[in-house]
Structure 1
Amino acid sequence: MSTPRKQVILGAFLGGVNHHTAWWHPEAGSQIDFGSFEHTARTAERGKFDFFFLAEGLVLRERAGKIFDQDIIGRPDTFTVLASLAAVTEHLGLAGTINTTFNEPYELARRFAVLDHLSGGRAAWNVVTSFDAFTGRNFRRGGFLDPADRYVRAAETLAAVRELWDSWADGDVVADKESGRFLARPDAGAFAFDGAQFDISGRFTVPRSPQGRPVILQAGVSPQGRDFAAANADAIFSPYGQLPEAAEFYRDIKARAVGAGRDAGDIKILPSASFFLGDTEAEAVEKYHAVRNEQVTGQTALILLEQLWNRDLSAFDPEGPVPDIDPDPEAPPIIQGRAFVHQDRFATVRHLRAVAEAKKLTLREVVLDQFERGALVGTPAQVAEQIDSFVQGGGSDGFILGSHLVPWGLDEFVDRVVPLLQDRGVLRTEYTGTTLRENLGLAAVRSAAE
């Protein structure tokens, strides 16, 4: 008997504050107008995607104290956008990135539980951490954490939120035949949480939501981040879009999940990817290189390397060699507001120099070559094959897809690639679940009170 083919999970994101978005394109739309969010979400639902994803931008990013002039400015409130999208979609999951450092458990639990009710069980929370004073100054005086404490707070925040969600059981709201009203059981919603970060108690105001608990998403690359995600997340965003690194990450997270007492299938692995389609492979490759060359200008290449070097590199020629000076990790950050993803500055610099020497690349060319989040390039049939092979080969459970063109870019993928994935039998032709958790193939969650 042949092994059933894995179903491909698809998420869609609308680009925000980054250099990937081609804001200069004559067909590009607004980054903040509701119509852009609505079009992307409706298109994703038309393509039977699992969820729509919003990243988070809590501060305007800076270089040496000045706002990035190549960034898109404007990131609306996540809950407002997702609640609005709940009214114009029926099946699509709605995932929001919300920080654990600058929010309180009660507020987080209530907002996501309400979103889950409003959407009929389609809410998801991408749990992220932050510790820096640059971000914290927007929230409270001294509002930052020691880097070592960010996962301590995140773990307690998530534990407290789950306790609030679980304070209501499915049977806590019952129909009273005499009065004809729905009544809550006497102890419904009662909670108490006592930890190093929080000491809270009371009654949670929102009855148990349709999913039991909204879906938890996370992204963790460091050993600490991987452990946190493997123990807590329903899905994790992978930074690896190429084999064999992606397969190694996949195996590692699944093994950590089992080590945390979970089943390997309890957590899904999802890298992000862009896509470039053409009627021929050559046409797709030409489009890819044209867009990438516009995205990674000389200035952008220098800024991406400045975050790694933590030095002012403006004196270096983008069309010249990779800088021959060492990083300065002890200096105050020259780039503020960007997530730092490199585990070892010096090892990464050595790798970039080796690549540049081996391939005879300039500074900008090595950024183009190495700072790619993952691109699916080819004809629609080739891209469908790339996605299917990657998932069946153990690189991931699916992809989070975004386009450089907001908000129209996803249409081409839905019109030309989705039917081919459906023909292969790896993507649904109709939604079968009523909640995001069901559509992702995740087990139902029961409360401790049941």
Structure 2
Amino acid sequence: MRLRRLVLRRWVPTVNNARTARQVHLVGYFPGVNHSTVWSDPGSGSQVEFDSFAHLARTAERGLFDYVFLAEGLRLREHKGEIHDLDVVGRPAALPLLSALSTVTERIGLVATVNSTFNDPADLARQFATLDHLSAGRAGWNVVTSSEAFFGANFRRGGYLDRNDRYDRAAEVLRAAAALWRARPGAEFGFRGAQIRLDRVSGVTPGPQGAPVIVQAGDSADGREFAAEYAEVVFSPHADPEPAARLAADLTERLARFGRTREDLRILPSATFALGDTEAEAQENAREIARAQVTPQTAIATVERIWGRDLSNLDPDGPLPHEEPGEDELRRGQAPHLGERRKIAADWQEHAQAEGLSLREVVTRKISSFTLVGTPAAVAERIAADVASGRVDGYVLVPHLQPHGLDTFVDRVIPELQERGVYRTEYPEGTTLRDVLDLPRSPLLTRDIRAN
């Protein structure tokens, strides 16, 4: 299969436009549980059929993206004791799906979200090495954690893990997996940690990268420290300039403690987008998308999640509830603690009163994803400026329609980025995901990784 390259407007460097400009990195995301995908739209496809994932991957590859990224769902969320029917029901397992996608793509990276709390390092090391082999070095692992018994109920150990121990276990799982990737194939092997112990497990044959690219998404202090030590990409929740700059500065300081620099890490916040031929058209498209994302049912369910009360009698176009949140957690699998819920409720009430917002309007304002809004040229200019600032290295794009929503961005914004000299016109010579991300060798392979 010949890879179709998108080179609609080729950039020719000049003396005044040298190749020193920071290059934009882009990722295509197929989420699982989320409010951003408008599954009710007639343009939406299936969330389980292979063709949906293949289309997204091929489109992202046509746009010369770094990788495609799949979410993980250990269990469907529940709301008031029932399956939360605003969620996606049923999602394929990421690793076998990405293995299949490796056969219909050539260069784009393949990143799976896999939980380190409820999975064992020997199995994970073998599965990721297998994906790396099948894809010729394009595997990545988004390492996530969970301490909730709600998710743990589907696993033999249950929800045993204290919240404070999540990243301790994640670090041990990574170190044990790295030791397996580094071990001589067929050699006897042992690993001793506080939570992980491996005895006489034969080493796995590492893939072309030696270790998959490690992605991290947690934003707590422990999550950031874990990212500074092990991660090569941070899937950031901060896209606005001030919080993005604070995160970059914090990670840069933490990286130095592990002998790493800012250039050893890619920071990629998530963003959706709304394009138009004019600014006014783009703004109107953005409003329509946001309204489709936050239906009246979604608005009420979201407020019930925060307030911990049955609020089904409320008018979504009326005011927020006046009472404080109750003790009940009506949402399982996505419920902040009571103290956090009270802070969120107070913040929402303050904004609603200050700006005269209805319940649905304040929910839309507060839960909507960061959105790149404008003409293709304006969106490209914004992305280029964000990356030039050093706050971020690009974006993880989450279209509101799956799987075809990315097509418009690839067709209209990528050429604008190329014209500005901040985006590749072909993939680099190196064939691995780490080559595409322009990253050094994995820290898991270059440092002395010990059990403790």
TM-score after normalising by structure 2 = 0.90
1:384 is aligned to 2:380: yes
Conservation of the 8 A alpha-carbon contact between 1:166 and 1:448 = no
Conservation of the 8 A alpha-carbon contact between 2:125 and 2:177 = yes
Of residues 247, 251, 254, the one that matches 2:252 is 254
| Mapped partners of 1:210, 1:343: distance in 2 | 47
Aligned twin of 1:239:
237
Instruction: Decide which moves more: 371-380 or 47-56.
Output: 371-380
Aligned twin of 1:180:
none
Aligned twin of 2:84:
68
Aligned twin of 1:284:
282
Conservation of the 8 A alpha-carbon contact between 1:320 and 1:363 = yes
| Mapped partners of 1:230, 1:312: distance in 2 | 42
Of residues 80, 83, 86, the one that matches 2:102 is 86
Q: In the TM superposition, what is the alpha-carbon distance from 1:380 to its structure 2 partner?
A: 0.6
Distance 1:226 1:214, change over 3 A: same
Of residues 441, 446, 450, the one that matches 1:444 is 441
| Mapped partners of 1:347, 1:81: distance in 2 | 40
Aligned twin of 1:430:
426
Conservation of the 8 A alpha-carbon contact between 2:150 and 2:159 = no
Alignment of 1:357-396 (within 5 A): 357-396=353-392
Distance 1:348 1:256, change over 3 A: farther
| Mapped partners of 1:345, 1:259: distance in 2 | 35
Of residues 13, 18, 26, the one that matches 2:42 is 26
Q: In the TM superposition, what is the alpha-carbon distance from 1:399 to its structure 2 partner?
A: 0.4
| Mapped partners of 2:242, 2:182: distance in 1 | 40
Q: In the TM superposition, what is the alpha-carbon distance from 1:393 to its structure 2 partner?
A: 1.9
Aligned twin of 1:177:
none
1:269 is aligned to 2:267: yes
1:172-202 CA-partner distances (Å, limit 9, x unpaired): xxxxxxxxxxxx6xxx544321011111132
1:335-354 CA-partner distances (Å, limit 9, x unpaired): 11237599943333332222
Aligned twin of 2:307:
309
| Mapped partners of 2:354, 2:172: distance in 1 | 47
- Computed over aligned residues only, the root mean square deviation of the Cα atoms, in angstroms, reads 2.1
| Mapped partners of 2:221, 2:446: distance in 1 | 30
Letter in 1 for 2:401: L
Q: In the TM superposition, what is the alpha-carbon distance from 1:264 to its structure 2 partner?
A: 1.9
| Mapped partners of 2:213, 2:339: distance in 1 | 28
1:353 is aligned to 2:349: yes
Aligned twin of 2:334:
338
1:239-277 CA-partner distances (Å, limit 9, x unpaired): 112111111112112221223332222121110011111
Q: In the TM superposition, what is the alpha-carbon distance from 1:318 to its structure 2 partner?
A: 1.9
| Mapped partners of 1:393, 1:347: distance in 2 | 32
Letter in 2 for 1:5: A
Letter in 2 for 1:382: A
| Mapped partners of 2:54, 2:314: distance in 1 | 42
Of residues 98, 118, 132, the one that matches 1:116 is 132
| Mapped partners of 1:23, 1:440: distance in 2 | 31
Aligned twin of 2:5:
none
Secondary structure, counterpart of 2:200 in structure 1: strand
Poorly superposed stretches of 4+, deviation over 4 Å: 339-343, 446-449
| Mapped partners of 1:390, 1:326: distance in 2 | 39
Q: In the TM superposition, what is the alpha-carbon distance from 1:3 to its structure 2 partner?
A: 8.9
| Mapped partners of 2:406, 2:339: distance in 1 | 32
Conservation of the 8 A alpha-carbon contact between 1:99 and 1:127 = yes
| Mapped partners of 1:422, 1:310: distance in 2 | 48
Of residues 98, 101, 106, the one that matches 2:114 is 98
Conservation of the 8 A alpha-carbon contact between 1:222 and 1:343 = no
1:128 is aligned to 2:154: no
Of residues 279, 296, 299, the one that matches 1:298 is 296
| Mapped partners of 1:364, 1:99: distance in 2 | 33
Secondary structure, counterpart of 1:283 in structure 2: helix
Counting aligned pairs with the same residue, the percent is 50
| Mapped partners of 1:277, 1:327: distance in 2 | 38
Distance 1:404 1:126, change over 3 A: same
Distance 1:339 1:308, change over 3 A: closer
| Mapped partners of 1:401, 1:295: distance in 2 | 16
Q: Which runs of no fewer than 5 residues in structure 2 stay unpaired?
A: 1-15
Instruction: Decide which moves more: 318-327 or 155-164.
Output: 318-327
Q: In the TM superposition, what is the alpha-carbon distance from 1:141 to its structure 2 partner?
A: 5.9
Conservation of the 8 A alpha-carbon contact between 2:271 and 2:398 = yes
Secondary structure, counterpart of 1:244 in structure 2: helix
Conservation of the 8 A alpha-carbon contact between 2:279 and 2:375 = yes
Report the number of matched residues: 429
| Mapped partners of 1:207, 1:363: distance in 2 | 55
Instruction: Decide which moves more: 37-46 or 188-197.
Output: 188-197
Conservation of the 8 A alpha-carbon contact between 1:164 and 1:189 = no
Conservation of the 8 A alpha-carbon contact between 1:271 and 1:396 = yes
Aligned twin of 2:3:
none
Letter in 2 for 1:266: D
